[in-house]
Chain A
Amino acid sequence: MATILAVDDSASMRQMVSFTLKGAGYTVVEAVDGVDALNKAQTQSFDCVVTDVNMPNKDGITLIADLRKLPKYKFTPMLMLTTESGMDKKQAGKAAGATGWIVKPFNPDQLLKTIKKVLG
């Protein structure tokens, strides 16, 4: 089963994402911000990245841009968690190389559906 990197500075969201995906059989590694995520992504390999956008230290969009520069993440699906009001963020995210987005608020079923969509 695929390994997913879940990045969010909010512990409750991280737990929710992680719990949902683990429940569906995925292996999940959590990261608290972009810097933490980039470190983890360099030492391990992930089949998919799910990241929050607004985070301290390194935001989700910069993270996606940085990950895309690494050869092993050239084609990896990367999803950003964004709020409705963050539509401009979608454009910025796409420009940085994001595959798509999940609009907050979302429920576990929506999350799972989207992940299944990209991971097949």
Chain B
Amino acid sequence: MSIDMAQFHQVFFEESFEGLEAMESGLLNLDMGDVDDEEINTIFRAAHSIKGGSGTFGFTAVSDFTHVMETLLDEMRDGRRQITQPAVDVLLGSVDCLKEMLTAIQDEQDIDEGQVSEYQKALETELNGGEQSSVAEQPVAEVVADETVTALDVGAGWKISFSPHAHMLKTGNDPVRMFRELSELGELKSTIDFQGVPDFYDLDPENCHLSWSLELLGEVNEDEINEIFDWVEDECDLAIQSLSRSDESSEQVQTEPEEATDKSDTVAQPKEESSPANTEKTADKVEKQATAKAKKDTKPAAKGSSSIRVDTGKIDILINMVGELVITQSMLSLVGENFELNNLDQLKNGLSQLERHTRELQESVMNIRMLPISFVFSRFPRLVHDLSTKLDKKIELVMVGENTEVDKTVVELLSDPLVHLVRNSLDHGIEMPADRVAAGKPEMGTITLEAYHRGGQIVIEVKDDGKGLNKDVLRQKAIEKGLIDEDTVLTDKQTYELIFMAGFSTAAELSDISGRGVGMDVVRRNIQSLGGNIEIISELGKGSTIAIHLPLTLAILDGQSIAVGDERFIIPLGSIVESINIKKEMINRVAGKGETFRLRDEYLPIVRMHEIFDVKTAKATKLTDGLVVVVDGQGMRCGLFIDDLLGQQQVVIKSLEANYRKVEGVSGATILGDGSVALILDIPGLVRLSNQ
């Protein structure tokens, strides 16, 4: 039977990456003084599973590498080896190395052998440097000799004396199975010895009381016979004698368990127990295997396929929902078959049920795409651990709301911006321990990562109790860099936002940790591309909070549909502040800067939708005739001049970029209930347009 193992690769990669995450967070949580058994067990189990899986699926380089890690972890788990920080660091590095190996295999790339052998050596050094494990060292020569003997033992046949212990049947081992296998090797003659059978009244039917004398004729290797009795060697008395030379070379197989085990161990994997001098060679060999295997194995990996793990509970809800939908559908078709006017109520009832179920179904389907944000957060303990060691700072990372669910796409795209923000907090935010103490703060700084839902949005905050942003320094820097004029008046908020400008860096000396200030503008762009925004709250000496606001999902949007002439547009509901009819006295025309109107104490630019989108059929061309919708795009407001507000509805976003090209002021399109297409407005884009 041939089975294409490639079909299991994707699952193997997924669970291996999960296992590596578990190993990493477990290693970071290890408390040197007082090691939690369950913690080290979890780490060991993850390594063990990866080794088993990679071996089975043919990724030999990975399984060889993991084998060394597993051995080290096993000794730590058993208490045979002290858990030390250097050992944990080597293991953490090896986790990274394994991640890269697996990613390379998955992407059909070559494994970085230099790195692999470097970590393998580090692991082996760690393994040899600590207490020697109690593995028996069997000289290789002996093994060879052993094999030669067995090879010679192929003769005319074998005499086997087999006396099962009374309880053998209770391990599920049936002598008949062994006889069947023996008879497949050659001609089998058996004689039953009834001597052990007790009197009828003493007979326990669950015990085995019989013994057998067997003769196996033919060219049979002794190893093949041993293999058949391998499982029961402790549960029987077994003697195997060669028929041809029974006098000289009778060999008692009924050896002590340890010895037998050790022997089979040595035969199976002599290189594992090689002395340190042989290690280099082994590593070489592994490397060669790695190259050969990497080339061979990678072909079938499902490249770039994106999959998602879904809680079965969510699927059950979905199935339930479909069930309801089917019931409603059959009810409606029943109404439709013999429709009379007095059935109208029933029809309406059915339709409203249909609407409800469709909505619920939609919600449940969307829910499937939702992943807990812990997928992103989980990489931070390691990051903070590594960077704080590097910077000699003492930092505690607190994570709140890791189970908050976000759309899969958001999870994927959020990772890099968050890394940047956390690095910034580590590098620029938190002070050196001495400075903190001098400022009357605890020596240990705190960085808090928090996620929560608020009004249809998800908010992610990166908070630190560091030195906070210094407005004067920011301002000074911006002037120096020529980003603002000396006489520019800025609000606090605008001052903080300076850090999002390209080419801005506040660190007195550039470090390799948070880079050269090229990041924050990119961070903001990334967040904006997800339809979100980013804001800074900071207090000098107390710390900073950077909050990212993101839509819950990128695929569906709560929208307000509006009319401009015959055209329909969708405004994201979250960005609408209010809608007003404006009066003549509110309107202001500023020469060269277009139209504005006064809303309470603020002057807002007006965007005439019919002009921007060139709608000839617009009903209202005079500002006082139509409606003005005040919208907010990333803290900037403007008024959209439209004909009319229609209804609120959820719309499915179709990308315009994927099908056409990017259009300024439009974030996508959707198909309305009547089949017509409506453009979804990109409010920040429109606000930018209005400012130009």
Contact = CB atoms under 8 A, between A and B. Distances in A.
A97 B232 CA distance: 11
A98 B173 CA distance: 9
Given A99-B171, A105-B55, A106-B56, A84 B181 contact: no
Contacts of A23: 1, 3
B105 to A, nearest CB: 14
Contacts of A16: 3, 5, 8, 56-57
Counting chain A CB atoms within 10 Å of each CB, the highest count among B49, B63, B265 belongs to B49
Given A19-B3, A108-B3, A83 B269 contact: no
A53 B518 CA distance: 51
A76 B56 CA distance: 26
Interface in B161-184: 169-174, 176-177, 180-181
Nearest to B63: A105
B234 interface: yes
A87 B44 CA distance: 16
A24 B206 CA distance: 31
Contact of A84 (B9, B53, B269): B269
A83 B48 contact: yes
B171 A94 contact: yes
Contacts of A19: 3, 7-8
Contacts of B257: 91
A10 B15 contact: yes
Nearest to B47: A54
A54 B49 contact: yes
Interface string B175-199: 0110011000000000000000000
A24 B231 contact: no
B42 A101 contact: no
B74 interface: yes
Given A11-B15, A13-B53, A78-B172, A91 B45 contact: no
B128 interface: no
B74 A55 contact: no
Interface string A90-112: 11001001111101111111001
A73 B476 CA distance: 80
A17 B257 CA distance: 29
B12 interface: yes
Contacts of B268: 84, 103
Contacts of B42: 56
Given A54-B44, A94-B171, A104 B55 contact: yes
A26 interface: no
B1 A108 contact: yes
Contacts of A11: 11, 14-15
B523 to A, nearest CB: 35
B56 A105 contact: yes
A39 interface: no
A105 to B, nearest CB: 3
B428 interface: no
Given A24-B1, A75-B172, A87 B261 contact: yes
A58 interface: no
A12 interface: yes
A98 to B, nearest CB: 6
Interface string B262-283: 0011001100100000000000
Contacts of A13: 49, 52-53, 56
Given A10-B15, A99-B171, A117-B181, A83 B8 contact: no
Closest 5 CB pairs of A and B: A105-B55, A100-B231, A99-B172, A12-B12, A77-B172
Given A52-B52, A88-B261, A105-B63, 16 more contacts: A12-B57, A15-B8, A16-B8, A23-B3, A54-B44, A54-B48, A55-B45, A78-B172, A85-B67, A97-B172, A99-B172, A99-B231, A105-B54, A117-B177, A117-B181, A118-B177
